[in-house]
Amino acid sequence: MHIGHAFTVMAAAFLAGAINSIAGGGTLVSFPALLGIGLTGQQANVTSTIALWPGSIGGFWGHREDLAGTKEFALRLMPVSLLGGALGAWLMLVTPQKVFDQLVPWLILAATVLLAANDPVNKLLKKIGGHDRTAGWWIGAMVFQFIVGIYGGYFGAGIGILMLAALSLLGLTDIHQMNGLKNLLALCINGVAIFAFLGMEYLRHPGNVQWGIVGLMAVAAGLGGLFGSHMAHRVGRTTVRFGVISIGFVLTAWYFYKTYAA
């Protein structure tokens, strides 16, 4: 690999790992970086997902103490996260490469809009207030989390805001507690997607995983996740999210032009 490419993907992975731990949306940095060095859309998606998983582990470990009191949520939402993530990964792998490349700008736009919707959603949830966690609320939350899992297994950027919104509707108010649970569920979604990607890599779709790049990015993403978890209480989430959203909209415009106009 060209040394410039190696530096690019490592820097993108470190930044993505830190962003995921603090505010979510790190894929909006790592995915375009991989496209920029010549990977196809599916190669970039699979490679990015595998490479950033250590960052999710780092973020989860850094927020592990914030999981206190969330056992009931974890036990109910982890199984549907795993099922949804597996289904989403399978759908991504059976999508023709040409079709997926045409979806890239739409996927980046969707992820950017999800991140931009964070503040309005939070304000709305504060007005709604907490709710009793009845059987109906739990079923709704599990169905919603299953859908989040599908999206996460397919592409993944922006799933954090979806999960935070669901947890707010279920009555959680401590942002750090919610972040810890969000990181755990994201770890499940991405983890099962990786197993699906690896299985299909050796059975039907060889070449999607760029192992040399994965190794470099995994180390950088793990360090970035740990760094971000320590900085989460110091760096404003709004500032980080605004930067990621700005990048997302610029990338959306670029990929729409590249895909449909160029």
Give the pLDDT of residue 162.
74
Q: How far is CA 67 from CA 105, 172, 199, 242, in A?
A: 35, 12, 31, 27
Does residue 85 register a pLDDT over 90? yes
Grade residue 128 by pLDDT with cuts at 50, 70 and 90: low
Does residue 221 register a pLDDT over 70? yes
Averaged pLDDT for residues 178-187: 83
Q: Which domain holds residue 185?
A: 3-261
- Domains identified in the chain, total number: 1
46 closest CA partner among 98, 99, 121, 97? 97
What residues contact 121, with CB distance under 8 A and at least 6 apart? 161, 164, 165, 168
- Which tops the pLDDT comparison, 142 or 237? 142
| HSE-up (13 A, CA, CB side) for residue 76 | 18
What residues contact 42, with CB distance under 8 A and at least 6 apart? 92, 93, 95, 97, 100, 205, 208
Grade residue 9 by pLDDT with cuts at 50, 70 and 90: very high
Q: Picking from 64-68, 192-196, 217-221, which range would have the lowest pLDDT averaged per residue?
A: 64-68
The percent of residues in the chain predicted with pLDDT above 90, rounded, is 10
Does residue 10 register a pLDDT over 90? yes
The DSSP code sequence of 186-234 is HHHHHHHHHHHHHHHHHHT-TTS--HHHHHHHHHHHHHHHHHHHHHTTT
pTM to 2 decimal places: 0.78
Does residue 96 register a pLDDT over 70? yes
How far apart are alpha carbons 100 and 40 in whole angstroms? 9
